[in-house]
A and B are shown apart, each in its own frame.
Chain A
Amino acid sequence: MSQLIKKMRKHRVLLAMLIPAFIYIILFAYIPMAGIVVAFKNFNYNDGIFNSPWNGLANFNYLFVTKKIFTLTRNTLLYNIAFIFFGMICEVGFAVLLSEINNKVFKKFAQGFMFLPYFISWVVVATIMLNIFGDNGVINSILHSMGLAKFSIYHQPAQWPIVLVFVRLWKQTGYGAVIYLAAIAGISQDLYEAAEIDGANVWQKIRFITVPSLKPTIMIMVLLALGNVFRGDFGMFYQLVGSNQMLMQTSDVIDTYVYRMLTTSPNVGMTAAAGLYQSILCFVTIVVANGIVKKLAPDYTLF
Chain B
Amino acid sequence: MKIKKGKDAIAFDTLAYVLVGLFALFCVIPFYLIVIGSFTKESSIITSGYSFYVNAKSFSVEAYKMALKTPETIIHAYGITIFVTVIGTALAIFICTITGYVLSRQDFPWRNGISFFFFFTTLFSGGLVPWYLLCTKYLNFSNHIYSLIIPGLFSVWNMIIAKSFMKGIPFEMTEAAKIDGAGDFYIYYKIILPMAKPLIATLTLFIALAYWNDWYNCMLFMSTSKNWNLQYTLQNILNSQEALKRIAAQTGMQVGQLPSEGLKLAMTVIATGPIVLLYPFLQKYFVKGLTLGAVKG
Residue ranges of A at the interface with B (Cβ–Cβ < 8 Å): 7, 11, 13-14, 17-18, 20-21, 24-25, 27-36, 38-39, 45, 48-49, 94, 97-98, 100-101, 103, 106, 108-117, 119-124, 126-128, 130-132, 135-138, 140-142, 144-145, 170, 173-175, 178-179, 181-183, 185, 196, 201-203, 217, 220, 227, 234-235, 239, 242, 255, 258-259, 262, 268, 271-272, 274-276, 278-279, 282-283, 286-287, 303
Secondary structure at the A interface, as helix, strand, loop or mixed, is helix
Residue ranges of B at the interface with A (Cβ–Cβ < 8 Å): 3, 6, 8-9, 12-13, 15-17, 19-21, 23-28, 30-31, 33-34, 37, 45-46, 48-52, 94-96, 98-99, 101-103, 105, 108-109, 114, 116-119, 121-134, 137-138, 150-151, 153-154, 156, 159, 183-185, 188, 209, 212-216, 231-232, 234-235, 238-239, 261, 264-265, 268, 271-272, 275-276, 279-280, 283, 286-287, 290-291, 293-294, 296
Residues of B within 8 A of A24 (CB): 95, 153-154
Pairwise interchain contact B234-A136, C-beta atoms closer than 8 A: no
- Can you name the residue of chain A whose Cβ is closest to the Cβ of B271? A124
Looking at the assembled complex, report how far the CB atom of A224 sits from the nearest CB atom of chain B, in whole angstroms: 9
Looking at the assembled complex, report how far the CB atom of B29 sits from the nearest CB atom of chain A, in whole angstroms: 9
Secondary structure at the B interface, as helix, strand, loop or mixed, is helix
Q: Can you give 24 A-B contacts (C-beta < 8 A)?
A: A17-B188, A18-B102, A21-B95, A21-B99, A32-B131, A34-B126, A35-B126, A35-B134, A94-B19, A101-B16, A106-B17, A110-B24, A114-B24, A120-B272, A128-B31, A170-B30, A179-B291, A182-B291, A272-B127, A272-B130, A275-B130, A279-B126, A282-B123, A303-B123
- Can you name the residue of chain B whose Cβ is closest to the Cβ of A45? B137
Residues of A within 8 A of B121 (CB): 25, 29-30, 33
Pairwise interchain contact A21-B45, C-beta atoms closer than 8 A: no
Q: Of A136, A227, A282, which contacts B261 at CB under 8 A?
A: A136
Q: Top 4 nearest A-B pairs by Cβ distance?
A: A275-B127, A35-B130, A141-B49, A32-B126
Pairwise interchain contact A116-B126, C-beta atoms closer than 8 A: no
Q: Of A13, A111, A126, which contacts B183 at CB under 8 A?
A: A13
CA A31 to CA B135, docked complex, whole Å: 11
Looking at the assembled complex, report how far the CB atom of A264 sits from the nearest CB atom of chain B, in whole angstroms: 13
Residues of B within 8 A of A94 (CB): 19-20, 23
Pairwise interchain contact A115-B286, C-beta atoms closer than 8 A: yes
Pairwise interchain contact B102-A132, C-beta atoms closer than 8 A: no
Residues of B within 8 A of A36 (CB): 126-127, 130
Pairwise interchain contact A234-B216, C-beta atoms closer than 8 A: yes
Pairwise interchain contact B27-A32, C-beta atoms closer than 8 A: no
Pairwise interchain contact A202-B126, C-beta atoms closer than 8 A: no
Pairwise interchain contact B124-A33, C-beta atoms closer than 8 A: yes
Pairwise interchain contact A178-B290, C-beta atoms closer than 8 A: yes
Pairwise interchain contact A258-B127, C-beta atoms closer than 8 A: yes
Pairwise interchain contact B238-A127, C-beta atoms closer than 8 A: yes
CA A17 to CA B150, docked complex, whole Å: 19
Pairwise interchain contact B48-A145, C-beta atoms closer than 8 A: yes
Residues of A within 8 A of B159 (CB): 21
Pairwise interchain contact A144-B49, C-beta atoms closer than 8 A: yes
Q: Of A20, A106, A120, A181, which contacts B98 at CB under 8 A?
A: A20
Q: Of B24, B128, B215, which contacts A109 at CB under 8 A?
A: B24
Pairwise interchain contact A131-B265, C-beta atoms closer than 8 A: yes
Pairwise interchain contact B30-A128, C-beta atoms closer than 8 A: yes
Q: A33-B124, A127-B265 are in contact. Are A11 and B108 (CB under 8 A)?
A: yes
Pairwise interchain contact B99-A17, C-beta atoms closer than 8 A: yes
Residues of A within 8 A of B280 (CB): 112
Residues of B within 8 A of A108 (CB): 283
Q: A18-B99, A21-B154, A136-B45 are in contact. Are A100 and B12 (CB under 8 A)?
A: yes
Residues of B within 8 A of A112 (CB): 279-280, 283
- Can you name the residue of chain A whose Cβ is closest to the Cβ of B117? A25
Pairwise interchain contact B125-A17, C-beta atoms closer than 8 A: no
Pairwise interchain contact B265-A38, C-beta atoms closer than 8 A: no
Q: A110-B24, A123-B235, A131-B37 are in contact. Are A32 and B125 (CB under 8 A)?
A: yes
Looking at the assembled complex, report how far the CB atom of B136 sits from the nearest CB atom of chain A, in whole angstroms: 9
Looking at the assembled complex, report how far the CB atom of B17 sits from the nearest CB atom of chain A, in whole angstroms: 7
Q: A17-B99, A136-B261, A179-B294 are in contact. Are A33 and B8 (CB under 8 A)?
A: no
Residues of B within 8 A of A278 (CB): 127
Pairwise interchain contact B129-A38, C-beta atoms closer than 8 A: yes
Pairwise interchain contact B294-A131, C-beta atoms closer than 8 A: no
CA A67 to CA B44, docked complex, whole Å: 48
Q: Of A109, A111, A182, A262, which contacts B129 at CB under 8 A?
A: A262
Q: A36-B126, A114-B23, A201-B8 are in contact. Are A138 and B50 (CB under 8 A)?
A: yes
Residues of B within 8 A of A274 (CB): 127
CA A48 to CA B134, docked complex, whole Å: 9
Pairwise interchain contact B9-A124, C-beta atoms closer than 8 A: no
Q: A127-B265, A138-B50, A259-B128 are in contact. Are A239 and B235 (CB under 8 A)?
A: yes
Pairwise interchain contact A127-B50, C-beta atoms closer than 8 A: no
CA A274 to CA B138, docked complex, whole Å: 22
Residues of A within 8 A of B290 (CB): 175, 178-179, 182
Pairwise interchain contact A28-B49, C-beta atoms closer than 8 A: no
